[in-house]
């Protein structure tokens, strides 16, 4: 692996499967040992410009479970890019800690941290990508089916950062992915082009459409996310009006195969992008995804912080 994990496209197919194997091995080891020694004496800095439940807790627990520690730094603590430049923060942290996990508004910030840091930088979410989430999602599918190549995945909703990472990861892993968004809310053209180029090498199909019914047909896994991400709150009312027919509900799922699984990266806006009966229903594997955030991030940390 490279020093950093900025994009899921930083990883090869073989490296992704190695992370899956590592995640499973660590999970099994922790059934017999309360803590593992692999990151003893290591410290991870958590730079979070945005609040978080799953990302913060899973990174902190992952470090603790491998005998390491984590230091949480909010925007109020360091004023990243305002009180102090991103480059200076990266240079200083490199003197004291062993890795940086950054949850930022701008992808440029993660890239700057990567450029100026001498320790590994992990993208814990930016406006362009969310690679840790996508890796947890693919691990969840892999756990359920025992395979990834040829799987059919549908994305319903906004062409956002999670969608971008899933699309790139699907192309790498040979997964067929249909992305259904309202017009003008498609994923960024540069990401679509990148995914299509990768997909050609791995016999994957990436299709972008504006029709959710077409996307869910023949899709074994159906994924949605909030229509309004953090930082877009002023667009909330407009988005609700535009995204109405993209709600994942019983009516839409009547067009899906009988054995479909429902996915969501959380937090969910119940009654907007997904209904309660679907989110809490028998087809939901959403809590499996949430659990796998811990397992995959443990594997990422064990790989990057000990290499």
pLDDT at 181: 98
Start-to-end Cα distance in the chain:
9
pLDDT digit string, tens, across residues 214-234: 999 999 999 999 998 766 777
Query: Are 114 and 16 in a shared domain?
Result: yes
Paired tokens of 302: 């064990």
Q: How far is C-alpha 107 from the geometric centre of its chain's CA atoms?
A: 14
Identify whether 3 is part of a domain: no
- The C-alpha atoms of residue 71 and residue 139 are separated, in whole angstroms, by 27
Identify whether 174 is part of a domain: yes
Does the predicted TM-score (pTM) go above 0.95? Answer: yes
Which position among 54, 56, 103, 107 bears the catalytic label? 103
Q: For this structure, is 103 an active site residue?
A: yes
What is the domain-level CATH number for residue 203?
Answer: 3.40.50.1370
Identify whether 1 is part of a domain: no
Task: Over range 73-95, report the average pLDDT.
Answer: 94
Q: For this structure, is 265 an active site residue?
A: yes
Q: For this structure, is 35 an active site residue?
A: no
- The C-alpha atoms of residue 46 and residue 32 are separated, in whole angstroms, by 28
Which position among 133, 194, 247, 297 bears the catalytic label? 133
Query: Are 151 and 85 in a shared domain?
Result: no
Query: Are 78 and 149 in a shared domain?
Result: no
Paired tokens of 272: 């907007």
Residue whose token pair is 């320790």: 119
Identify whether 260 is part of a domain: yes
- Domain encompassing residue 39: 8-130+293-304
Task: Spell out the residues 6+ positions from residue 127 whose beta carbon is closer than 8 angstroms to its own.
Answer: 104, 105, 106, 107, 161, 229, 231
pLDDT at 232: 74
Which position among 54, 56, 107, 130 bears the catalytic label? 130
Q: For this structure, is 130 an active site residue?
A: yes
Task: Over range 163-191, report the average pLDDT.
Answer: 98
Identify whether 186 is part of a domain: yes
Q: For this structure, is 56 an active site residue?
A: no
Helix (H) or strand (E) holding 186: none
CA neighbours within 13 Å on the CB side: how many for 36? Answer: 19
Query: Are 66 and 117 in a shared domain?
Result: yes
Domain count across the chain: 2
């Amino acid at each position: 692996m490279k020093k950093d994990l900025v994009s899921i496209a930083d990883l090869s197919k073989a490296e992704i499967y190695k992370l899956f194997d590592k995640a499973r091995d660590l999970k099994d080891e922790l059934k017999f040992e309360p803590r593992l020694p692999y990151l003893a004496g290591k410290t991870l800095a958590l730079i979070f410009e945005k609040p978080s439940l799953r990302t913060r807790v899973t990174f902190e627990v992952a470090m603790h479970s491998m005998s390491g520690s984590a230091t949480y730094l909010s925007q109020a603590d360091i004023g990243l890019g305002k009180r102090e430049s991103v480059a200076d923060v990266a240079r200083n942290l490199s003197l004291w800690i062993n890795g940086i996990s950054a949850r930022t508004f701008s992808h440029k910030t993660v890239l700057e941290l990567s450029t100026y840091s001498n320790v590994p930088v992990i993208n814990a979410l930016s406006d362009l990508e969310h690679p840790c989430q996508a890796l947890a999602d693919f691990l969840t599918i892999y756990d359920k089916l025992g395979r990834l190549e040829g799987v059919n995945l549908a994305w319903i909703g906004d062409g956002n950062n999670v969608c971008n990472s899933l699309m790139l990861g699907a192309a790498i892993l040979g997964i067929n992915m249909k992305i259904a968004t309202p017009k003008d809310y498609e994923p960024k053209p540069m990401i679509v082009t990148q995914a299509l180029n990768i997909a050609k090498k791995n016999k994957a199909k990436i299709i972008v459409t504006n029709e959710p019914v077409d996307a869910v047909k023949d899709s074994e896994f159906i994924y949605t996310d909030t229509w309004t991400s953090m930082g877009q709150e002023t667009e909330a009312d407009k988005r609700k009006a535009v995204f109405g027919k993209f709600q994942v509900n019983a009516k839409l799922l009547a067009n899906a195969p009988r054995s479909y699984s429902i996915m969501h990266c959380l937090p969910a806006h119940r009654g907007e992008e997904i209904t309660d009966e679907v989110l809490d229903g028998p087809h939901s594997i959403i809590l499996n995804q949430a659990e796998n955030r811990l397992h995959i991030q443990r594997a990422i940390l064990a790989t990057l912080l000990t290499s």
